[in-house]
Amino acid sequence: MQSNSIYQCPICPRHYKRREHLKRHRSSHTSERPHRCPQCDARFQRADVLRRHLQTCLERRGSRGVTTRRRACDRCVRQKKACDLQQPCDRCAQQTVECCYSIGVDVTASEERITPASLGNAELAPAPPAPETTLAMTFRWPDFDADNPVVNSGEYDAMALSDPNMLDNASPSWQDLIAMVSEGPPGPDNTSFQFLDKMTSNTGLAYSFDCGTPEQRAQVLSTLEREVEIEYGASSSSETLVTSESPLVDGLSLNWLNDPLSLKTHQILHFIKDVVMVKPRNSSVTLDWSSSLQQSCLQFFSPANLRKYLGLYWAIWHPNVNFIHRPSFDSTSAKPTVLAAMTLLGACMSPETSDNEDARMWFNCVEELVFTDEDFNSDFTSAASCPTLHRNIVQALQAAYMVCLYQNWEGSDASKRRIRRCRFASLVSTARDVDLTTVKHAKYSEQTRYQFEWKDFATREELIRVLIWIFLLDTAFVLFNNLPPRMVIKEMKIHMAVPDACFQASTADDCYEQIKRLLPANSQYWNISFCNAFRSLFQENLAMNLRYDIAALGPLNLFALTSAIHSQIFQYRSNSWGTVRLLAPIRNALDNWRAIWELSVTSLPPKLSPHVDRADDDGYYNTQIIMHQPERMWRRVGFCRYCPEYWLLANLMVSQLTELCMSGSQPRNELERLDDEPLDSILKKYDETSMQQANDMILSFQRWQVFSC
């Protein structure tokens, strides 16, 4: 963007001449409070407000003294390490993580060290999530048998249990992000909600999900930029693609004419121009079209940037939501809507602040573009009857889902409410139009190689996975925003997702062989739907063969099943009147899910796991493989591996609900009881935009679990 250009807020009509001013203004559109006082744990939106608060806070705390002395910071307490009680302590400073004390340290000993001036800008900036939350997870099953030998669980890359000592020597290189191998069974004191705490307390997709540290993402970005420079040459970098020396032909630089992605750049520009110039009623788009805005659009969605941001999408984000078939995906033939949404998500993964801010400018435009797309609003009966002919509909669903993601985690509070209350409802309605009862695979294992249609398989599996992820986003709104579910489990009569080895196979021959090996004709996979698999969890004694069949389906399906349990718990919290008997089926589901998960991480030998990256030289699956290039990183398992935390949270919820029911006294007047009791027995507010309520619940359960052990 030229130096004399005006930075316009994509949410309101305000304009600014400097990017940092626009960034500071954007905080007024959100309820997030990233700046925290290290003394009293109060949170603020602006750093200058925190500085003023610190002056009075230190004086106030110094005058009254502190009766309880903390011997270590919170992180050293969790890791059981020695702490020097500095602010920050030496261990946290070495790891460049936030250092805080939930119980105040002795002010007389630390007053000279902690002052507003000594904190500086680095202390007032939003702290990044701790690296251990992106590299490892500590988790303990209640009453888990520690003597039971556990085979390396890396075949699903699932629990990623590692020694806390390993974190002190962790390398900041991005290879650490993709290794993620477990070191053994969990220790007896490693009970935590590290991922869920991070997800509900941080802002942004990169800091909330399994996307690595900024240093790791910076190394991935550096590799991708070198590849783009090699392809375009030094003279065709993203900064010089649109200049006064490069004449434009129909809005495109002459440097792009031979680029196969130039057509996609032109299509995206044309569609965005339409939604900006012809705004529907109550449109969220506030931009006004001009020559400078057109040049900004061309620069952001230039072919070079498309390649860079798509590379970040595949390497960093795709493992977290893996519903696009990477081997058959062609950016030159993909719908412009899905390409634009992938580009924005990739830009959100960038460690460069300028990339993040430039992406936010186009959030609302791409949202309007996606939800007014003809394929998304088309009148169709069943996309599963001939999925190859309806691939555009599948991509329309994928694009709409990605818009919901980046707006809900990166957008303003108004955007989050609009997505949660309006856009997601449209997405669910469009998904229902597919006819969920017909979204199933053909029995490929009974077909010959010449009968097997790889593209047909890929489109069906993409449709199955995007429907599963829509259901998972629905349960995420239930769990984190206390919003009643929009999808019904009984309507999820689709097939489960196939093992990742089948979905990630790079050729049709390889895919066919993986299906024959992992899903033979006698496999229960062909006869079971998501609804039936979930219903089977409510049995008191689930057959062992069925447990093995469900365990072999991998972390995505197990994550979906444990999320469905949360949907049932919400129904109990909101609609039941304290009957303990209604919790018995949910307890059965929790017990069965735990047994299935233990089978999934102990039964399959690591070299035969269908859910990790495959070593091409020997044809086996190896959890120790290190992928040295970003184009291989898309194969790893994302945040689904943290689904035991979702199980633990559900288990603690049921335990608390049981105690509330057992300890509750019967009032004299039942009608008065209905009026006086809270709306919800755990969360107090419905449809809450901020996740602070959910984070407080998670932390309270964390403390409750520790005290009850």
Dihedral over Cα of 112, 115, 117, 118: its sign: positive
More confident residue, 160 or 221: 221
Of the chain, the percentage scoring pLDDT greater than 90 comes to 42
Q: What is the mean pLDDT of residues 460-469?
A: 96
Radius of gyration of the chain (CA): 26
- DSSP code of 254? G
Exposed (0-12), middle (13-18) or buried (19+): which is 264, by Cβ within 10 Å?
buried
Mean pLDDT of the chain: 76
- What 3-state DSSP class applies to 621? strand
Q: Are strands 252-253 and 248-249 parallel, antiparallel or unpaired?
A: antiparallel
Which of 469, 465, 458 lies closest to 503, judged by CA?
458
**Minimum mean pLDDT range among 52-66, 486-500, 604-618:** 604-618
Band (70; pLDDT cuts 50, 70, 90): low
Q: Are 99 and 83 in contact (CB under 8 A)?
A: no
- DSSP code of 104? P
- What 3-state DSSP class applies to 253? strand
Q: 323 CB contacts (<8 Å, ≥6 apart)?
A: 398, 401, 462, 465, 466, 468, 469
Which of 683, 649, 668 lies closest to 559, judged by CA?
649
**Minimum mean pLDDT range among 264-278, 468-482, 521-535, 630-644:** 630-644
Is the pLDDT at 26 greater than 80? The verdict is no
More confident residue, 238 or 202: 202
Is the pLDDT at 114 greater than 70? The verdict is no
**Minimum mean pLDDT range among 184-188, 296-300, 401-405, 705-709:** 184-188
Dihedral over Cα of 481, 322, 564, 586: its sign: negative
Q: What is the pLDDT of residue 670?
A: 52
More confident residue, 92 or 164: 92
Rounded to whole angstroms, how far apart are CA atoms 623 and 506? 19
Q: What is the pLDDT of residue 290?
A: 93
Band (673; pLDDT cuts 50, 70, 90): low
205-219, 246-260, 361-375: which has the highest mean pLDDT? 361-375
More confident residue, 674 or 427: 427
Residues paired with residue 587 on neighbouring β-strands, in sequence order: none
More confident residue, 699 or 566: 566
Q: At what angle do helices 584-602 and 544-551 cross, to 10 degrees?
A: 60
Band (601; pLDDT cuts 50, 70, 90): confident
Torsion, Cα of 660, 661, 664, 670 (10° steps): 130
Q: What is the pLDDT of residue 664?
A: 59
Phi/psi for 363 (5° steps) reads -55, -55
Is the pLDDT at 120 greater than 70? The verdict is no
List the end-to-end C-alpha distance of the chain, in Å, as a whole number.
57
Distances in Å between the Cα of 310 and the Cα atoms of 326, 349, 630 are 11, 10, 11
Band (212; pLDDT cuts 50, 70, 90): confident
Distance of CA 325 to the CA centre of its chain: 18
Q: 472 CB contacts (<8 Å, ≥6 apart)?
A: 559, 560, 563
Q: Which two tokens stand for residue 312?
A: 């970040």
Q: What is the pLDDT of residue 14?
A: 72
71-80, 228-237, 384-393, 495-504: which has the highest mean pLDDT? 495-504
Query: Mind listing the pLDDT tens digit for each residue in 218-235?
Result: 999 998 888 888 776 644
More confident residue, 438 or 505: 505
Which of 400, 402, 368, 396 lies closest to 383, judged by CA?
396
Q: Is 282 left (phi over 0), alpha (psi -120 to 50) or beta?
A: left
Q: What is the pLDDT of residue 54?
A: 75
CA angle 475, 476, 482 (to 5 degrees): 85
Q: Looking at this protein, which amino acid is placed at residue 27?
A: S
Q: 389 CB contacts (<8 Å, ≥6 apart)?
A: none
Band (677; pLDDT cuts 50, 70, 90): low
Rounded to whole angstroms, how far apart are CA atoms 637 and 627? 13
Q: 364 CB contacts (<8 Å, ≥6 apart)?
A: 10, 11, 284, 285, 286, 287, 415
Q: 240 CB contacts (<8 Å, ≥6 apart)?
A: 246
Query: Mind listing the pLDDT tens digit for each residue in 290-301?
Result: 999 999 999 999
Of the chain, the percentage scoring pLDDT greater than 70 comes to 68
Q: What is the pLDDT of residue 144?
A: 31
Q: Are 604 and 552 in contact (CB under 8 A)?
A: yes
Rounded to whole angstroms, how far apart are CA atoms 336 and 394? 13
Rounded to whole angstroms, how far apart are CA atoms 605 and 660? 43
Is the pLDDT at 188 greater than 70? The verdict is no
Is the pLDDT at 383 greater than 70? The verdict is no
Q: Which two tokens stand for residue 106?
A: 């002795």
Q: What is the pLDDT of residue 140?
A: 37
Q: Are 135 and 162 in contact (CB under 8 A)?
A: yes
- DSSP code of 16? E
Rounded to whole angstroms, how far apart are CA atoms 355 and 316? 15
Query: Mind listing the pLDDT tens digit for each residue in 638-661?
Result: 999 999 999 999 999 898 888 877
More confident residue, 581 or 121: 581
Is the pLDDT at 384 greater than 90? The verdict is no
Distances in Å between the Cα of 648 and the Cα atoms of 89, 481, 705 are 31, 19, 10
Which of 320, 337, 479 lies closest to 405, judged by CA?
320
Q: What is the mean pLDDT of residues 449-457?
A: 94
Q: What is the pLDDT of residue 80?
A: 66
Q: What is the mean pLDDT of residues 577-601?
A: 86
**Minimum mean pLDDT range among 254-263, 336-345, 402-411:** 254-263
Q: Are 686 and 680 in contact (CB under 8 A)?
A: yes
Band (102; pLDDT cuts 50, 70, 90): low
Q: Is 375 left (phi over 0), alpha (psi -120 to 50) or beta?
A: alpha
Is the pLDDT at 5 greater than 70? The verdict is no
Q: Are strands 35-36 and 248-249 parallel, antiparallel or unpaired?
A: unpaired
Please count the other Cβ atoms lying within 10 Å of the Cβ belonging to residue 690: 17
Segment (H or E) for 598:
helix 584-602
**Where along the chain do its domains lie?**
35-124, 140-210+537-666+694-709, 319-335+373-528
Say which residue the tokens 């997505």 belong to. 419
Is the pLDDT at 377 greater than 70? The verdict is yes
Q: What is the pLDDT of residue 576?
A: 58
Q: Are 208 and 194 in contact (CB under 8 A)?
A: no
Q: What is the pLDDT of residue 46?
A: 72
Rounded to whole angstroms, how far apart are CA atoms 193 and 644? 9
649-659 burial code (b ≥16 CB/10 A, e <16): bbbbbbbbbee
Rounded to whole angstroms, how far apart are CA atoms 420 and 4? 37
Q: Which two tokens stand for residue 261?
A: 């992605």
- DSSP code of 411? S
Q: Are 412 and 29 in contact (CB under 8 A)?
A: yes
Distances in Å between the Cα of 212 and the Cα atoms of 70, 84, 218, 633 are 31, 28, 10, 12
- What 3-state DSSP class applies to 281? coil
Residues paired with residue 36 on neighbouring β-strands, in sequence order: 43
Q: Which two tokens stand for residue 15?
A: 């304009």
Rounded to whole angstroms, how far apart are CA atoms 332 and 260? 6
Query: Mind listing the pLDDT tens digit for each residue in 354-376?
Result: 999 999 999 999 999 999 999 99
Q: What is the pLDDT of residue 426?
A: 96
Is the pLDDT at 311 greater than 80? The verdict is yes
Q: Which two tokens stand for residue 151?
A: 């085979």
171-180, 549-558, 684-693: which has the highest mean pLDDT? 549-558
Band (386; pLDDT cuts 50, 70, 90): low
Q: Are 300 and 321 in contact (CB under 8 A)?
A: no
Distances in Å between the Cα of 373 and the Cα atoms of 57, 100, 385, 422 are 53, 48, 22, 16
